[in-house]
Structure formats: C-alpha cells, structure tokens
Amino acid sequence: MSPNQPGQMPKLPIPGVRNLIAVGSGKGGVGKTTVAVNLAIALAGLGHKTGLMDADVYGPNVPLMMGINQTPMAYGDRIQPLEQYGVKLMSMGFLNPGDRPLVWRGPMLHSVIQQFLRGVDWGELEYLIIDLPPGTGDVQLTLIQTAPITGAIVVTTPSDVSLEDARKAVHMFHQVKVPILGIVENMSYLVCPHCQERIDVFSYGGGKRTAQQMQVHFLGELPLNPAVRIGGDSGRPVALEEARSVEGAGFLTLARNTVDRIRELGPQEGPKIEIED
C-alpha cells in the first residue's frame, strides 16, 4: 500500500506535538501498558511536557493505572484531554467506562485513532506516548500510515516466546520505515525480598541479545516486582517514586535513554510507508 493511494489520509503532523513515540509489543502479557504509563510519568518528572494516548481500544487500562476515570469535556469540535500526574491523557476507557466490550471492525478503529490524534486538544507537547495494542494489526498500521511517528519502543520479557514475538514487532516497524528507539526488557529479574539474590524468572539477557542481533538499541532492564503491579492497580505508578525506589529509578533511566535516542535521531522527515496489500 502506498501513502499516495486514493482514500488514505496524508501523514500530517499533530499540531503542537514535537515527538510521537509508539510503545508496542509482539504479544500481550509483557507489561507494555505498564511501561508506557511509567515512561510518560518519568518524562513528565524530568520536566518534559508529555501526553499519553491509549490506543489499545479493546483493552484500555490507562485510566485504572493512572488513577483517573472521568469523562473528557469538548469545546467546539475539540476534545479536552484529562490530566494526571502532569501527563495529558486520552483513552477509550474514559468514553466507554466499565466492563462493556467494544465490538468494532477496522473502519471504526481507524476513525477513533484519528479522533484521538487530531480531535484532541493536546496543546504543546514534547512527547506524546502512544500505547499500542499487542500484535501487528489494524490499529498499528492505521497509526503508522497516518501519523509521523518519531520512533518506536518494543517491550519484551526475557523468555524465548516473548522474544520471538518482539522480533516480529521490530520487523513490522522496520518494514513501515519507523525508526526503532530500542528494545526494553520488562520483568527482567526478581530480587528475593529475603536474601536480596537476583532470580532470573524468565531466563536471562534475552532482550539485550535480541537487540544486538537485530542491530537496535537496548534501552534497559526493568525488574519484576510486586510494587510495580501494586502501583498500576492502585493508580499510583512506581515512576512517581522516581529515584526513591529501584523500580522508579528503572523507569527514570528508560526515560533518559529514550530522550537520548530521539536526540540521536535528530529531525525526522515523515517516513514513507510501503505495505503490500
């Protein structure tokens, strides 16, 4: 598919937004939303104007993890994002609260992604983090084909199953000419609370090896810790603790590495998309 085909929206910049960062994974269950939420909070904590767009339309967990569940207001034809912990937010969970499922097909997904990108008054942002659904489906391609993505972060765990799917995600971003900011290894290890010994629950070093093999950057390891889960369930993510905890410090390091990678890339032209039908 060519970006110049009839009916496809041009890849226009989002007014006021300098960098769009897609956070994706090849499979579910790797903590992708946890990484996206804590990355956004860590970037805001570093003084960057940051937004978080929950593009996981079928499983929008950002409202729960950010501890906010209100209905956004609209002024004219512009939706006003909610704000929590210094991060501007938009999620389908704000518009379709509770346990009601969405049963939507491709065209409806395309419409809501465009509404979240261009119908929300994001204001001036240095970074808009986009939490993608797992996999390599319609939402990912809609976003990539219509928005100038600065770069993508691929989340994995050290296990071979997760790494196999992470490689698919990296190949997808390569295929559509989106720069890879790097791979981050989540649930990398567990520190025993009794003896302080490191336990490699899901194997060891797979994320770093995969990054080296695929010639992309490795953005770091994030530990497996009950505090991360508790923070997400309670609406107070561990990144709020920043350097006061090992878990918070890990996300702060991830944020700094992400900023460094974007600076290395420099000004980017909108990538050209060529996807075979």
pLDDT at res. 107:
59
Asked if 222 and 245 touch (Cβ cutoff 8 Å), the reply is no
Q: Which residues of 201-228 are buried (b: 16+ CB within 10 A; e: fewer)?
A: ebeeebbbebbeeeebbbbbbbbbbeeb
Give the residue from 211, 254, 265 showing the smallest Cα distance to 36: 254
N residues, the chain: 277
Name the fold adopted by 17-265: Rossmann fold (3.40.50)
Q: Where are the domains of the chain?
A: 17-265
Q: Where are the beta strands (DSSP E) in the chain?
A: 17-24, 50-54, 74-75, 78-79, 82-84, 87-91, 125-131, 151-156, 180-185, 190-191, 198-199, 218-221
pLDDT at res. 251:
92
Q: From first to last of its 277 residues, what are the pLDDT tens digits of the chain? A: 344 444 455 578 899 999 999 999 887 889 999 999 999 999 999 999 999 999 887 778 999 999 998 888 988 888 999 999 999 999 988 887 665 555 555 556 678 888 889 999 999 999 999 999 877 667 777 787 788 999 999 999 998 889 999 999 999 899 888 999 999 999 887 776 777 777 776 777 788 999 999 999 999 999 888 888 889 999 999 999 765 666 778 899 999 999 999 999 876 544 343 444 4
pLDDT at res. 10:
59
- What is the pTM (predicted TM-score) of this model? 0.87
